[in-house]
Amino acid sequence: DAGVTQSPTHLIKTRGQQVTLRCSPISGHKSVSWYQQVLGQGPQFIFQYYEKEERGRGNFPDRFSARQFPNYSSELNVNALLLGDSALYLCASSLEWGIEKLFFGSGTQLSVL
Amino acid sequence: AQKITQTQPGMFVQEKEAVTRDCTYDTSDPSYGLFWYKQPSSGEMIFLIYQGSYDQQNATEGRYSLNFQKARKSANLVISASQLGDSAMYFCAMREVNYGGSQGNLIFGKGTKLSVKP
């Protein structure tokens, strides 16, 4: 079975642009979470979705938004990009909400110039 | 506020040796979960081991074990018989069961690097 897949793997944008990152969870997993990992730091929680509803939101500005589709895939959108948004964006899925074990994808490396 | 602290510098270990990676945490919630993930250069976070705050026994998963000392708020990862494929960044993380109504988000430490030499 395929693991968590994320696209694209790498992305280069300029300040002020908008970006959409995509995530497909493991088949059967209903919960998707997004994390931002800045170089040299641990991942930081952005959003969690379960059954297409937002179940948690981290301390990120409103420029960050996300949604989950009926097939449980998810998109993360970031508007008005800043240099500080440059990071590895990780998607994680779990079977249900609140399940301990998260499965992560390999991430999307976003560079903002 | 919830916090995970990993302060060990990166280290080299010889293949087949045992190694410990330290983690301390801070929380006021009596119910929480502790995790260890490893992140190789590919970027993927790989789940290693989980310990619940009410678990009586220390968790073990194959070559990985977690030395859980609740009173000291520490959750150290022990890897027995290191392998070359263990070279990676290691992250300790915590999830509070009732944090803000969400049960899914993890709080990660800054990570600690391990390099295994042949």
- Which residues, in sequence order, are CB contacts of B88 under 8 Å at separation 6+? B38, B39, B40, B41, B46, B113, B114
Q: How confident is the model at residue A97 (pLDDT cuts 50, 70, 90)?
A: low
Cβ contact, residue pair B101, A106, below 8 Å: no
Task: Report CB contact under 8 Å: B52, A92.
Answer: no
Question: What's the gap in Å between the CA of B10 and the closest CA on chain A?
Answer: 12
Q: What angle do CA A79, A84, A86 make, to 5 degrees?
A: 80
Q: Would you call A5 an interface residue with chain B, using a CB distance cutoff of 8 Å? A: no
Interface contact flag, B43 A41, Cβ < 8 Å? no
CA distance A105 to chain B (A): 6
pLDDT digit string, tens, across residues A40-88: 999 999 999 988 899 889 999 999 999 999 999 999 999 999 999 999 9
Question: Given a cut of 70, is residue B97 above it in pLDDT?
Answer: no
Residue B91 confidence (pLDDT) above 60: yes
Q: Check whether B102 has a pLDDT greater than 60.
A: no
- Quote the CA–CA distance of B80 and B23 in Å, as a whole number: 17
Asked whether the beta carbons of residue B106 and residue A97 sit closer than 8 angstroms, the reply is no
What does the pLDDT read at residue B104? 61
Asked whether residue A98 carries a pLDDT value surpassing 80, the answer given is no
B64, B68, B74, B79 alpha-carbon torsion, rounded to 10°: -10
What does the block give as tokens for B114?
Answer: 């391990």
Contact state of A106 with B107 under an 8 Å Cβ cutoff: no
Residues of B with CB under 8 A from a CB of A: 4, 33, 35, 37, 42-47, 50, 52, 91, 93, 95, 97, 100-111
Mean of per-residue pLDDT scores for chain A:
93
Distance of residue B18 Cα from the nearest chain A Cα, in angstroms? 24
Measured CA to CA, the distance from residue B85 to residue B41 in angstroms comes to 11
pLDDT of residue B31: 84
> B56 CB contacts (<8 Å, ≥6 apart)?
none
Does B117 have pLDDT greater than 60?
yes
| Residue B86 phi, psi (nearest 5) | -80, -10
C-beta neighbour count of A109 within 10 angstroms: 17
The string of pLDDT tens digits covering residues B67-83 is: 999 999 999 999 999 99
Asked if A103 reaches chain B (Cβ–Cβ under 8 Å), the answer is yes
Quote the CA–CA distance of B35 and A78 in Å, as a whole number: 29
Residues 6+ apart with CB under 8 A from A25: A4, A31, A32, A72, A73, A74, A91, A93, A103
Helix ranges, chain A (H): none
Min Cα–Cα distance to chain A from B17, Å: 26
Pseudo-torsion of CA A81, B41, A92, A88, nearest 10°? -10
pLDDT value at B100 more than 60: no
How many percent of chain B have pLDDT more than 70?
92
Question: What letter does residue A43 receive in the DSSP assignment?
Answer: -
Average pLDDT over residues B83-91: 96
Average pLDDT score, chain B: 90
Residue A36 or B42, more confident: A36
pLDDT score of B110 more than 70? yes
Report DSSP letters for B75-87, one per residue: EEEEESS--GGG-
Q: Is the pLDDT of residue A99 over 80?
A: no
Is B103–A33 a contact, with Cβ atoms under 8 angstroms apart? no
B103·A97 Cβ contact <8 A: yes
pLDDT confidence bin for B2, thresholds 50/70/90 = confident
**B64 DSSP β-pair partners:** B61, B79
* pLDDT for position A1: 62
